[in-house]
Structure 1
Amino acid sequence: MKVAIMQPYFLPYVGYFQLLAAADVFVVYDNIKYTKKGWINRNRLLQNGKDVTFSVPLKSASDSLLVCQREVAADFDRDKLLNQIQGAYRRAPFFAQTFPLVEKIVRHQEVGLFDFLYQAIVAVRDHLGISTEITISSDIAIDHGLKNQDKVLALCAELGASTYVNAIGGMELYSREAFRERGIDLKFIRSLPFSYPQFGEPFVPWLSIVDVMMFNPVETIQTCISTNHELI
């Protein structure tokens, strides 16, 4: 069985869904520290030919809290974010098919940050027809005091993984030998370039999955997710 484990991100780029689809079980971390300047609650969209950051504002809290302990700000203006996305993509060829999904995700009333992000990941998975099971890290019976590679190995062992698939950025973080000793094959997924027309302007790569869905039919995205990468 192939297992992948990742942090939750808000409407992440297509490579996130390539990793999800490459696994039989995809574990989303909820009990890890929130990274203030990371991409957990923000991403990029295309606006006037340039990449622009959009985000989900959070309630003020200690930087030491876990993702599952953070909350969406009470004054999160969902209409403002939806208007930004609508303004950016209303002329996109697949706006009519994509915007209702985005609206459903953004209007979700969950207060907890993790639950808000989790429902978005599941909604996009279902929209794209990905069959991978998604589970939450804290629901898996391991010692959650473990860190880094040791925690990943424990999660893989508990799930009965034969292969662990990780994003290419993790090559320096994990030891193939350590996984091999546990009978687990360690693989890394590398996304290949995927370009498409963006209003006739120079292509801006690796934007949110929202951008991909606005400019491409689901069938094209499914092909990209299943074939436009390599396992190392």
Structure 2
Amino acid sequence: MKVGIMQPYFFPYIGYWQLIKAVDTYVIYDDVNYKKKGWINKNNILVNGEEKAISLKMSKVSQNKRINEIEIDNDLIYNKKLLKTIKETYCKAPYFKEVYILMEKVINQEELNLAKYLTNSIIEVCTYLDLHTHILLSSDLKKSENLKGQDKLIEICNMLSADQYVNAYGGLSLYSPLDFESKGVKLEIIKTNDISYQQKEVKKFVPNLSIIDVMMFNSPKEINSMLDDFTIIKDFYPLLHIGS
């Protein structure tokens, strides 16, 4: 069984969804510390041909708290402005109508817990894209509190009887395939290939935007083809020791 583990993010880029589709069980890593300058509560969309950040309004954030200990500020006026920005940006996009309904549902939800809010949004997008990966929260697993880094990931894999762990490309320099293999788990890295699509009124394609941008300009069927457009790196251990 293949398992993927990743922190929850606010409408993350296409690579995040590639990982979800590539595994059998996807674990939302919600019981690790929140990073203020990370992408957990924000992302970029395309405004007037350029990247522009959108974000959730947060309440009393702290890097000393875990993601599932933080709440969002459900400010109705702020949410209305956020939806207005999305609407004004993408109202002429081919799939605006159906995607905007999804945006309204997610952004206007009453859930205040950040982890649950983002989990709900991830499930909504998966439903829209017809992805059937089993999704669960890491906080629902009874894990050791003494483990750190990759040892925590290996423990989760073992708890779920996984024989393969798939990680995003950023894990290439973080994790040791040999350490995973010693615990009966094959480590693989997923690398997104060069993906592009027609963005209206843009001379040059702007990559790695929020999945919002992808959904506005592409059908679920087209997006699913993009989700399969990646490379799996299996034998990368020597890459970590070049020049050492």
Measured against the shorter chain, the TM-score band is over 0.9
Alpha-carbon offset, residue 74 of structure 1: 4.3
Question: Do 1:30 and 1:136's aligned partners in 2 also have CA atoms closer than 8 Å?
Answer: yes
Alpha-carbon offset, residue 160 of structure 1: 0.4
CA distance in 1, matches of 2:189, 2:63: 30
Question: Do 1:192 and 1:230's aligned partners in 2 also have CA atoms closer than 8 Å?
Answer: yes
- Corresponding residue of 2:134: 133
* Cα distance change of structure 1 residues 47 and 176 upon mapping to structure 2, 3 Å threshold: same
Percent of aligned pairs with the same amino acid: 41
- Corresponding residue of 1:124: 125
Alpha-carbon offset, residue 57 of structure 1: 1.2
- Corresponding residue of 2:241: none
Counterpart of 1:196 in structure 2: which amino acid? Y
Listed as ranges, the matches of 1:69-218 within 5 Å are: 69-75=69-75, 77-201=78-202, 202-218=204-220
CA distance in 1, matches of 2:146, 2:92: 49
SS in structure 2 of the partner of residue 171 of structure 1: helix
- 1:8 and 2:8 matched: yes
- Corresponding residue of 2:21: 21
CA distance in 1, matches of 2:62, 2:143: 26
SS in structure 1 of the partner of residue 71 of structure 2: coil
Question: Do 1:163 and 1:186's aligned partners in 2 also have CA atoms closer than 8 Å?
Answer: yes
CA distance in 2, matches of 1:176, 1:26: 20
Q: Deviations over 1:33-87 (max 9, x none)?
A: 0000000000000000000000001112433111011110243621110000001
CA distance in 2, matches of 1:21, 1:49: 29
Q: Deviations over 1:98-152 (max 9, x none)?
A: 1101111111111111111110001001110111000000111221342111100
SS in structure 1 of the partner of residue 103 of structure 2: helix
Question: Where does structure 2 lack aligned partners over 5 or more consecutive residues?
Answer: 234-244
- 1:231 and 2:232 matched: yes
CA RMSD of aligned residues (A): 1.0
Question: Do 1:138 and 1:144's aligned partners in 2 also have CA atoms closer than 8 Å?
Answer: no
Counterpart of 2:221 in structure 1: which amino acid? E
Question: Do 2:36 and 2:62's aligned partners in 1 also have CA atoms closer than 8 Å?
Answer: no
TM-score, scaled to structure 1: 0.97
CA distance in 2, matches of 1:34, 1:156: 22
Equivalent pairs counted in the alignment come to 231
Greater shift in the superposed pair: 195-204 or 110-119: 195-204
Alpha-carbon offset, residue 183 of structure 1: 1.4
4+ runs deviating over 4 angstroms: none
- 1:37 and 2:37 matched: yes
SS in structure 1 of the partner of residue 19 of structure 2: helix
CA distance in 2, matches of 1:180, 1:147: 17
- Corresponding residue of 1:47: 47
Counterpart of 1:230 in structure 2: which amino acid? T
Question: Do 1:141 and 1:158's aligned partners in 2 also have CA atoms closer than 8 Å?
Answer: no
Question: Do 2:49 and 2:201's aligned partners in 1 also have CA atoms closer than 8 Å?
Answer: no
Counterpart of 2:113 in structure 1: which amino acid? G
CA distance in 2, matches of 1:231, 1:22: 10
CA distance in 1, matches of 2:189, 2:197: 25
Alpha-carbon offset, residue 222 of structure 1: 0.7
Question: Do 1:93 and 1:215's aligned partners in 2 also have CA atoms closer than 8 Å?
Answer: yes
